[in-house]
Amino acid sequence: MKKLLLLLIIFSITSCKTKVNTATPSAKKTGLIAEKAMVVSARKEASDIGLAVLKKGGNAFDAMIATEMALAVVYPYAGNLGGGGFMVYRKADGQTGTLDYREKAPLLSTKDMYQDENGEVISHLSKVGGMAVGVPGTVAGIFAVHEKFGSMPMAEILEPVIALARNGYVVTANQEASLGRYRENFVRVNRDSIFYSKNFAEGDTIRNLALARTLERIAENGRDEFYNGPTGEKIIAYLQRHGGIMSLQDLREYQSFWRDPIHVKYNNLNVISMAPPSSGGIVLGQILKMIEGFPLEKYGHNSVEMIQVMTEAERRAYADRSFYLGDPDFVDIPVEVLLSDKYLNGRMDNFSFSKATPSSEMEHGAITAKESMETTHYSIVDQFGNAVAATTTLNGAYGSKLYVEELGFFLNNEMDDFSAKPGVPNMFGLIGAEANSIAPGKKMLSSMTPTIVEKKGKLWLVLGSPGGSTIITSVLQTILNVEEYNMSMQEAVDAPRFHHQWLPDEILFEPNAFAPDVLNTLRIKGYHINEGESTIIGKVDAIRVLPDGKLEGGADRRGDDTAAGF
Ligand code: GLY
């Protein structure tokens, strides 16, 4: 009898799992619903501050500045003053655009700066310490946004952020674990203990007075405080004591750029995403165009056929990424060809459902990089109908681990996003080529994919994710979960994800979330399955405009992410 009961339990668990992973879920579990405005970010404090700015009458761009800076206070893991990012926007009147505030290589950089005399890559140089740091763009980014679209004085926007740094924020369990993981690294790289190497435990309050003072000076003195003033001088002095090659000239010459977005049609959707130096928009667009003709809904969510079609399209798009993409101010990128129907239809010609296409037989198309998990994304829709999707990063967790004690923030290790040597993988296993080689003043290729989706010409989704090379496929799956599988925003963000990036030739799956028979069938067809090493794939923060005009938040269950709205 006991045996029978056990068998019944095992059967019901297995069949439940299969159902969850292959059937089209009904849109039941929703995220926060708001009438007019919403901010979704990696931390409640940052979402609340962004929302408070909106409540005061500010617009999505004022809220972007507040949220970006609040993340620098409460989420030093990825939020930053010492890093960079990208913003995609859609104004209420339908006008779209993007801001590139990506870091760039210092003027003294050289193509082989991370290679020894035998041409071997010295991997740690681009990941930790002074040599890893690219010229930061975030402060330039918020001032560019403010100048073009801001409606409130900068000092007023920054006031609650400064108060947050001064009054403190409460450490979460995730944050305690992450600070603990890197404590020894902080001390080693900085050659001393730093503010964040203290033993902070869940429930403790962190007051970062040095950062409060830095933000106060920026509020008072403007962009120049960072790029041509005392804050910049302190950054350079600290970097030069730690083997860095960045100079004041690098800071003075830094510019952010307004760039045209990538627009891609998929069914009745218009997907608006980031152009190079991010690979996000082009790769996302290529995958969407390659899978458009396949009946994904009919295959079922996370079914063998759906995973095959998406994997094969991802394999082909990432092969192109690694050959063709880099900083558009340094290399010619055949954007139109890469996104054309003619080119993309041909790319899937050799795909067959009967077996995997080995990546060794799949190169870039005949007309062919690199990145970190530790980025952060936030999405905003304001009460006027403007939308902002912004992804910002230090690259690795806490960037280069270099922390300027006097200023209260970490410096990025974005230089690892360059290809240190063609063919040698970076920290995400991404392979780069000449297009993403290092040059003075050049921007390193990114995977950040802040994205806005219109449905039938109207604002529909605002989304993005951290996750290095997995950012693009996380954004892709979230869009498809809503469009093809009728999920709510929250369900779409929470659903288990998988990822393929050409090389290494394997499908990465979130562990214990996919039906064993699906994985076995894929193995039989020649796919390499990696379920063991993956922890999470992406951490999506998204907003959906519902048919009645209300907003639904999708705050990823994988972190401390929170939606706030009114
Ligand atoms: N550093 C992560 C990215 O830019 O893709």
- pLDDT, tens only, 439-448: 999 999 999 9
Strand partners, 332: none
- Is residue 276 within 6 Å of ligand 1 at its C-beta? no
Q: Is 474 in the pocket of ligand 1 (CB under 6 A)?
A: no
Evaluate: CB of 447 within 6 angstroms of ligand 1.
Answer: yes
Residue nearest (by alpha carbon) to ligand 1 atom 3:
446
Sheet with 507-509, edge to edge strand ranges: 498-499, 507-509, 529-530
372 within ligand 1 shell (Cβ under 6 A): yes
Number of helical H runs and strand E runs in the chain: 18, 21
Task: Please tell me the distance between residue 445's alpha carbon and the centre of ligand 1 in angstroms.
Answer: 7
Residues in the chain: 566
List the Cα angle 238/239/243 in 5-degree steps: 125
CA 278, CA 100: separation in Å to the nearest integer? 9
Q: What is the pLDDT of residue 20?
A: 33
Cβ 468 under 6 angstroms from ligand 1: yes
Which atom, in ligand 1's list, is nearest to the CA of 471? 5
Handedness of CA 275, 281, 287, 292 (dihedral sign): negative
Pocket of ligand 1 contains residue 417 by CB under 6 Å: yes
d(CA 334, CA 394): 29
Residue ranges of the chain with per-residue pLDDT less than 70: 1-28, 363-373, 425-432, 532-535
Distance CA 146, CA 140 (A): 10
Tokens of 536: 């999470």
Distances (CA, A) of 231 to 118, 168, 218, 545: 39, 22, 9, 41
What is d(CA 341, CA 265) in angstroms, rounded to the nearest whole number?
11
Distance 446 CA to ligand 1 centre (A): 4
Cβ-contact 102, 85 below 8 angstroms: yes
Tell the residue nearest (CA) to atom 4 of ligand 1. 446
* Ligand 1 center–CA 416 separation, angstroms: 9
Interatomic CA distance for residues 327 and 435, integer angstroms? 8
Enumerate the β-bridge partners of residue 459.
Answer: 454
Site to probe by mutation for ligand 1, drawn from 375, 391, 419, 539 as the one with most ligand atoms within 8 Å of Cβ, is 375
Q: Which residue's C-alpha comes closest to atom 1 of ligand 1?
A: 395
> What per-residue confidence (pLDDT) applies to 365?
61
Distance CA 552, CA 545 (A): 6
CA distance linking residue 297 with residue 294, whole number of Å: 9
| Percent of the chain surpassing pLDDT 70 | 91
Q: Is residue 375 lining ligand 1, measured as CB closer than 6 Å?
A: yes
- Measure 149 CA to ligand 1 centroid, in angstroms: 26
| Pocket perturbation via mutation, ligand 1, pick of 417, 469, 474 by most ligand atoms within 8 A of CB | 417
Nearest-atom index, ligand 1, CA of 414:
1
Q: How far is the CA of 414 from the centre of ligand 1 (A)?
A: 7
375 is catalytic: yes
- Distance from C-alpha of 252 to C-alpha of 331, rounded to nearest angstrom: 24
Judge if the upstream peptide bond of residue 295 is cis by omega within 30 degrees of 0. no
User: Of 375, 392, 451, 562, which one is the catalytic site residue?
Assistant: 375
Whether 395 lines ligand 1, by a CB cut-off of 6 Å, is yes
Classified as helix, coil or strand, 526 is coil
On whether the CB atoms of residues 263 and 271 are closer than 8 A, the answer is: yes
SS3 content of the chain, % helix, strand, coil (to 5): 40, 15, 45
Asked whether 446 lines ligand 1 (CB < 6 A), one says yes
How far does residue 428's CA lie from ligand 1's centre (Å)?
10
Is residue 253 within 8 Å of residue 421, measured between CB atoms? Answer: no
pTM tops 0.75: yes
